[in-house]
């Protein structure tokens, strides 16, 4: 048996195409580029489990043809650029610095969950919001969206449901017939979680405006995803540098791939090198959420904040180029498409 396993391992090494890689495909505003508004990323486990991390303002609708099968939708927080208060008019429209978008009053998150009958992975507080929006999309008479009956599901699920986990909770999604599932753990993100006002009722908007207030939906979150090939991806969402990156993400979860949101607000253009080199220490990094037109003709633009940070990061860093599929092995190494 041991000899057979060793022979199989050798075979995989000799033929990388046969290896069990995780496929990662960003879907942003402009094919072949990393643009200012890009956030959404599709992940595909070797067993076939496919999920979308933050629908954002990057999909044209719940049935955006670039999506394909989506078994789960991850929602990190309620800012409009993540829950999706706007949707993409069409890939390539507008500029890379400012893509053309139109209102999505039910949120792109709810649109995709409804269209794909997907599992929503997020906190219970944020799930409540999406449940209502999915019910609105489906109209009266349909069965209300609810939490999934268990914390482990075989996907595709028969009806859209949500994960019923909060900080530290684990949800497992297994493909039909697979021996092992993909594990999703909710982790903290050092950010805020105010909902985009345009997604609220007019009465609520007026009340909030009268008090100069924002409506928060509990803590914003990131995710640690353990794939069946051994890849452990940390999906940071919007976050400042914080201690959990070392203790929880690196020491406990042993994440070997860090998918990092940049942008000026949480300050990772300044602190990102320390976060990656000293706290997270991943085998590879993927940068997204750059809030600037980072590429032109698919190549990193030299005088960007993204380029300045890339120079300081020790691990191989890759850009989340829209509609380009990268493949990662179980050790966090990019083996194709980077
Ligand atoms: Zn945010
Ligand atoms: Zn954001």
Average pLDDT for 4-9: 54
pLDDT at 275: 98
How far away, in angstroms, is 192 Cα from ligand 1 center?
7
How far away, in angstroms, is 79 Cα from ligand 1 center?
5
How far away, in angstroms, is 238 Cα from ligand 1 center?
5
Look at residue 106 and tell me whether its pLDDT is greater than 90.
yes
How much is the mean pLDDT over the chain?
Answer: 95
Q: Which of 264, 302, 278, 267 is nearest to 81 (CA)?
A: 264
Ligand lying nearest the CA atom of residue 54: 2
How far away, in angstroms, is 289 Cα from ligand 2 center?
7
Q: Percent of the chain, pLDDT > 70?
A: 94
Instruction: Give CA 192 to chain center in angstroms.
Output: 17
**Residues whose CB falls within 8 Å of the CB of residue 15, separated by 6 or more in sequence, listed in order:** none
How far away, in angstroms, is 84 Cα from ligand 1 center?
11
CA 294 – CA 289 distance, rounded (Å):
10
Span 48-98, pLDDT tens digits: 999 999 999 999 999 999 999 999 999 999 999 999 999 999 999 999 999
What is the number of other CB atoms lying within 10 angstroms of the CB of residue 300? 16
**Through-space distance between the first and last CA atoms of the chain, rounded to whole angstroms:** 35
How far away, in angstroms, is 81 Cα from ligand 1 center?
7
Ligand lying nearest the CA atom of residue 82: 2
pLDDT at 16: 44
How far away, in angstroms, is 186 Cα from ligand 1 center?
16
pLDDT at 17: 46
Span 112-163, pLDDT tens digits: 999 999 999 999 999 999 999 999 999 988 999 999 999 999 999 999 999 9
How far away, in angstroms, is 141 Cα from ligand 2 center?
35
Span 223-260, pLDDT tens digits: 999 999 999 999 999 999 999 999 999 999 999 999 99
How far away, in angstroms, is 141 Cα from ligand 1 center?
35
Q: What is the pTM of this model?
A: 0.94
Look at residue 9 and tell me whether its pLDDT is greater than 90.
no
How far away, in angstroms, is 238 Cα from ligand 2 center?
6
How far away, in angstroms, is 276 Cα from ligand 2 center?
19
How far away, in angstroms, is 79 Cα from ligand 2 center?
6
Among 14-18, 205-209, 266-270, whose mean pLDDT is lowest?
Answer: 14-18
How far away, in angstroms, is 282 Cα from ligand 2 center?
22
CA 90 – CA 10 distance, rounded (Å):
45
Angle of the 124-138 helix axis to the 108-116 helix axis, nearest 10? 70
pLDDT at 3: 52
How far away, in angstroms, is 237 Cα from ligand 2 center?
7
pLDDT at 338: 95
pLDDT at 140: 85
């Amino acid at each position: 048996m041991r000899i057979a396993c060793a022979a199989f391992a050798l075979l995989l090494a000799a033929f990388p195409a046969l290896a069990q890689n995780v496929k990662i495909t960003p879907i942003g505003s402009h094919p072949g580029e990393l643009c200012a508004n890009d956030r959404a990323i599709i992940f595909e486990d070797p067993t076939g489990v496919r999920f979308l991390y933050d629908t954002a303002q990057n999909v044209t609708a719940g049935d955006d043809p670039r999506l394909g099968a989506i078994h789960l939708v991850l929602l990190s927080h309620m800012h409009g650029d993540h829950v999706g208060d706007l949707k993409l008019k069409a890939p390539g429209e507008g500029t890379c610095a400012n893509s053309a978008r139109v209102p999505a009053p039910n949120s792109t998150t709810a649109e995709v969950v409804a269209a794909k009958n997907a599992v929503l992975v997020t906190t219970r507080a944020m799930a409540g919001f999406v449940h209502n929006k999915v019910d609105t999309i489906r109209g009266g008479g349909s069965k209300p969206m609810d939490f999934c009956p268990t914390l482990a599901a075989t996907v595709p699920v028969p009806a859209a449901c949500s994960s019923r986990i909060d900080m530290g909770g684990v949800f497992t999604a297994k493909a039909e017939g697979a021996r092992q599932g993909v594990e999703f753990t909710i982790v903290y993100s050092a950010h805020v979680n105010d909902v985009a006002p345009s997604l609220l009722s007019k009465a609520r908007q007026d009340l909030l405006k009268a008090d100069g207030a924002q409506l928060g939906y509990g803590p914003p979150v990131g995710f640690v995803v353990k794939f069946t090939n051994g890849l452990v991806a940390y999906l940071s969402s919007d976050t400042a540098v914080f201690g959990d990156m070392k203790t929880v993400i690196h020491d406990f979860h042993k994440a070997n791939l860090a998918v990092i949101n940049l942008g000026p607000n949480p300050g990772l253009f300044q602190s990102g090198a320390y976060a990656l080199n000293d706290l997270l220490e991943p085998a590879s990094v993927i940068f997204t959420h750059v809030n600037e037109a980072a590429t032109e003709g698919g190549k990193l633009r030299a005088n960007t904040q993204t380029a300045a940070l890339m120079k300081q990061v020790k691990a191989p860093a890759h850009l989340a180029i829209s509609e380009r599929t990268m493949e990662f092995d179980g050790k966090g190494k990019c083996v194709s498409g980077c």
